[in-house]
Amino acid sequence: MKKLKWILPIVLILALIAYFFIKPQIDAKNIAYVFTPLEKGNIELAVSSTGTLEAINTVEIGTQISGTIKKIYVDYNDKVKAGEVLAEMDLKLLKTNLTSAQANLAVSTVQLNQCTEEYNRSKALYEKGVISQQEFSNSKYIYEQALSAKKASSAAVKNIQVSINYAHITSPISGTVTERSVEEGQTVAASFSTPKMFIIAEDLSKMQILADVDESDIGYIINNMPVRFSVQTYPEKKFKGKVSQIRLQPLEINNVVNYQVVVDVDNDKGLLLPGMTTNLDFITSTAEGVFLINNSAFRFRPTEKMLKEVKSILVSKSKTVLLDSIQKQFIKAINTSETYTPANFKKTLPTNIDGFFYLNNLKKIDFMFVEIGIKTGLQSEIRKLLDGSELTEELKAINGIKSKK
């Protein structure tokens, strides 16, 4: 019995030791890796934004005179030419004023003629000493007053004639009427500001988008950059444009600084209309026929056991494929317990270098350093394998772990 009391604890201890040594091997055998392959394809990096379609050149047309609109000759969407009459103001009052002004001019002319004769006679008499200086000065004053009165009357006539010319509202450009704000018989007052009557868009076959781009993205935008966009009325159709201007005036929208970018658009088919809201993608970079990998391979977090297995591999490979400055920081990091963790072991690598786990020819866990190019939210371009190996679609990266059933 005494021997049995000693044997049972020893057996339990041996069983626990065996369990902790054997369990990881059992667990390892029950683990299966999930892979994502390299594949060839196209990739592009884009900055997204929204904007509004506008005509490149629009002109607001009003009237410089007050009065009643007698006739309107155009309506929405009408095509007009430069110099074409759009509307006409009622001329009755202006013509009456012109007749009155012309009559005043005639009276002023007669008075000036009379005063001129009196002035010339007084001048001759004064030179002969017949009349005094005072009498001559009075005659000269009356003459100059009449001369000024005639000039004022003549100016009044010209002013009314100009107003009559303004009574015919004409288009300064050729284009399309996009807005008409008045009706026949309506009275407009131009006393304080020019009332808006029409808006004309010069050429709707060429339009522009005014897009607001966040300050964090504006550095990627350059002139002549290609742009792809869509509008709500044609959700399946993609339109193209290009950046023509980056306006430097900052705009604060919801406490975020934005800059307005102008995008030129061809509208030969007339599908796009002023005021439409657009969803834009500024294409900052593209690559075609390149090797791509799902970003899940880079986001994969290995187990502690995997990290222990590949630590020596990481050290040896980093010495052969990484630049000295990068290599020293990397090796220092993986020799530090705080940073050599599943979440941080690649933390010191620059943005254009990354790596993924894979199974080598011996079916052993291994690690590959790669140089990446364009990176989107879903995929990344693999430019090359840093150990000099050939890029092939047969290469598969580990992006997950699952238990075998």
Q: Which two tokens stand for residue 262?
A: 């102008």
Same domain, 63 and 165: yes
Element of type H or E holding 126: helix 92-127
Domain boundary among the residues 246, 267, 288 is at 288
Quote the pLDDT of residue 39. Answer: 93
Per-residue pLDDT of the chain (405 residues; tens, 9 = 90+): 444 455 655 645 655 554 444 444 444 455 689 999 999 999 999 999 999 999 988 898 888 888 888 899 999 989 999 989 999 988 888 888 889 988 998 999 998 898 898 888 888 887 888 888 888 888 889 888 989 998 999 999 898 888 888 888 899 988 899 889 888 888 888 766 667 889 999 888 899 999 999 999 999 999 999 999 999 999 899 999 999 999 999 999 888 999 999 999 999 998 999 999 999 999 999 999 999 999 999 999 988 888 888 999 999 999 999 999 899 999 998 888 888 888 888 989 999 999 999 998 888 999 999 999 999 989 999 999 999 989 888 899 999 987 655
Residue 7 lies in a domain: no
Report whether 220 contacts 46 (CB < 8 A): no
3 state DSSP class of 227: strand
Quote the pLDDT of residue 291. Answer: 95
Helices 92-127 & 133-166 angle (0-180, nearest 10): 160
Q: Determine phi and psi for 9, rounding to 5 degrees.
A: -60, -40
Element of type H or E holding 154: helix 133-166
Residue 5 lies in a domain: no
Query: Could you tell me the end-to-end alpha-carbon distance of the chain, in angstroms, rounded to an integer?
Result: 44
Domain housing 299:
31-41+291-403
The length of the chain, given as a count of residues = 405
Quote the pLDDT of residue 87. Answer: 92
Residue 212 maps to which CATH number? 2.40.30.170
Quote the pLDDT of residue 241. Answer: 95
Nearest 5°: the CA angle 390, 401, 405 is 125
Same domain, 93 and 214: no
Domain count, the chain: 3
Report whether 175 contacts 56 (CB < 8 A): no
Tell me the helix, strand and coil percentages in the chain, rounded to 5.
35, 40, 30
Buried b / exposed e along 53-65 (16+ C-beta atoms within 10 A):
bbbbebeebebeb
Domain boundary among the residues 162, 188, 214 is at 188
Same domain, 331 and 358: yes
Quote the pLDDT of residue 19. Answer: 45
Quote the pLDDT of residue 10. Answer: 61
Same domain, 342 and 366: yes
Quote the pLDDT of residue 30. Answer: 54
How many CA atoms within 13 Å lie on the side-chain side of 88?
Answer: 9
Neighbours of 281 (CB within 10 A): 17
- Quick one: 210 exposed, middle or buried, by C-beta within 10 A (0-12, 13-18, 19+)? middle
Residue 342 lies in a domain: yes
Same domain, 160 and 247: no
Quote the pLDDT of residue 31. Answer: 67
